[in-house]
Structure 1
Amino acid sequence: MSSPLNDYLSTLQPIRDPILLKMKDYAVQNNIPIMEDVSMAVLLSLMKLKKPQTVLEIGTAIGYSAIRMAKACKECKIVSCDLDEKRLAIAKAFLHESGFSDRITLIYGDALDDLAEIEHNAPYDMVFIDAAKGQYEKYFKAFSPMVAKHGMVVSDNVFFRGMVPGIVQPTKRYRTVINRLREYNEYLVREEGFETTFYPIGDGLAVSIKTD
């Protein structure tokens, strides 16, 4: 959800880490979506405040978000799941290069099909959802019971290019995804046991804090 404000905020938080710059360049060159800078800054700020010890990430891609989370929280362990074997192999190489292989565990496969392996590492202080947008509600229902008391679920892209709130007219190609994300956002508001705040930054960020 590009805007002059987002663009301006991005210039205030330049990335200087060589491995992160290399990963961003790789993502651009290979058309691989990674989290926007402003949304990432908010996510990392929340992590520094909450200090999660265990994190579950749904959607590894090339490992960019996982590495940034590991850098932000020096003690946390991250379990990251993705069903794209090629991207996961690239992520593994970047993890090795960055020195975070010991703190980030990669799982190959559909997260919804690997519940036993994921649950083995539960409870999680934070779950970060950044995978198939049409499956967000299923992910939340599957993994929110594994969230520790006062933990949080963070969902990226909940405004999806401005189409979900209607800022941009939804295209036919994304109509199903947009409808499901709208349903997901409404579900988050109704969900008992969590309090959700929506942040109109980047591509839209939802932060759901477990209250019970």
Structure 2
Amino acid sequence: MDEMLNNYLVKHLPDTEAWVKELENQAKIDHVPIMDPVGINFLMQLIRLNKPTKILEIGTAIGYSALRMNEANPSSKITTIERDDSRYEQAVENIKKQHKDNVIEIIHGDALDELMKLANKGEKYDCIFIDAAKGQYMRFFELSQPLLEENGVIVSDNVLFRGYVYDPNFEHPRYKKMVEKIRAYNEWLVNQPSFITTILPIGDGVAISVKKS
């Protein structure tokens, strides 16, 4: 997103509570990637509109997005998966600090394994949010499909990845393979016959995939 446009949008976002600023600062200090302000506010607005009863998040990090989704719809039950030990412990602490551990369940494990376990248990969710290892997005989406309610929605974050995805001349050695995987995911995603997908240039790029009825 254009920097001037992003600054303009950030300037017009709703005010946040002190705990939100604390988590954003914690993420900055610890170099933990969380959704940017414009992106998280869009996700929250989506949740306010749809009012999902059950939300599944793939990629908890420090618990920031789970807590913000709860803020958008406090009646939602949220399940979130995190494999990194340190981030899992931070998320547990942050969620307990906000007294939300009764409505936000954190699963400590690899999402590729945990998604299959949830499917075997017959779990269903109205909204699934994918924000974990970018190279695994396609597999995350495939494993999420059996967990999604009819007319449910899957939201994928970072699908434009700093604008590199739509830059035909992008050749950075550090990110080249990741960008190629995200490009492939986007092409695959918009051609899924059971979903209608829209990719929006919000935050770092958000894809909204609605399951066809």
Query: Does TM, normalized by the shorter one, top 0.5?
Result: yes
Please list every run of 5 or more consecutive structure 1 residues that lacks an aligned counterpart in the other structure: none
RMSD (CA atoms): 1.5
Are 2:49 and 1:49 equivalent residues in the alignment?
yes
- Aligned with 2:202: secondary structure? coil
Determine the structure 2 residue equivalent to 1:125.
126
Are 2:203 and 1:197 equivalent residues in the alignment?
no
Residues 128-182 of structure 1: CA deviation (Å, up to 9, x unaligned)? 0000001100000011221101110000000001101117734111111111100
Does the CA contact (< 8 Å) of 1:126 and 1:151 recur in 2? yes
Does the CA contact (< 8 Å) of 1:130 and 1:157 recur in 2? yes
Determine the structure 2 residue equivalent to 1:61.
61
Alignment map for 1:27-176 (pairs within 5 Å): 27-119=27-119, 120=121, 122-166=123-167, 169-176=170-177
The worse-fitting range, judged by mean Cα deviation, of 42-51 and 165-174 is 165-174
The worse-fitting range, judged by mean Cα deviation, of 56-65 and 119-128 is 119-128
**Structure 1's 194 and 141: CA in aligned 2 closer, same or farther, altered over 3 A?**
same
- Give me the whole-angstrom Cα distance separating, in 2, the residues matched to 1:5 and 1:182: 24
**Structure 1's 75 and 205: CA in aligned 2 closer, same or farther, altered over 3 A?**
same
Residues 30-63 of structure 1: CA deviation (Å, up to 9, x unaligned)? 1111001111111111111111000110000000
Does the CA contact (< 8 Å) of 2:56 and 2:128 recur in 1? yes
**Share of identical aligned residues, percent?**
40
Q: TM-score, normalised by structure 1?
A: 0.95
Does the CA contact (< 8 Å) of 1:10 and 1:37 recur in 2? yes
Does the CA contact (< 8 Å) of 1:67 and 1:95 recur in 2? yes
- Give me the whole-angstrom Cα distance separating, in 2, the residues matched to 1:97 and 1:69: 16
- Give me the whole-angstrom Cα distance separating, in 2, the residues matched to 1:206 and 1:79: 20
One-letter code of the match for 1:174?
Y
The worse-fitting range, judged by mean Cα deviation, of 170-179 and 146-155 is 170-179
Q: How much has 1:118 moved relative to structure 2?
A: 2.5
Q: Runs ≥4 in structure 1, deviation > 2 angstroms?
A: 115-121, 167-170
One-letter code of the match for 2:125?
Y
Determine the structure 2 residue equivalent to 1:187.
188
Does the CA contact (< 8 Å) of 1:2 and 1:161 recur in 2? no
Residues 167-204 of structure 1: CA deviation (Å, up to 9, x unaligned)? 77341111111111001101111101110011111100
Please list every run of 5 or more consecutive structure 2 residues that lacks an aligned counterpart in the other structure: none
- Give me the whole-angstrom Cα distance separating, in 2, the residues matched to 1:182 and 1:109: 27
Does the CA contact (< 8 Å) of 2:157 and 2:206 recur in 1? yes
- Give me the whole-angstrom Cα distance separating, in 2, the residues matched to 1:40 and 1:167: 28
One-letter code of the match for 1:34?
I
Q: TM-score, normalised by structure 2?
A: 0.95
Does the CA contact (< 8 Å) of 2:116 and 2:143 recur in 1? no
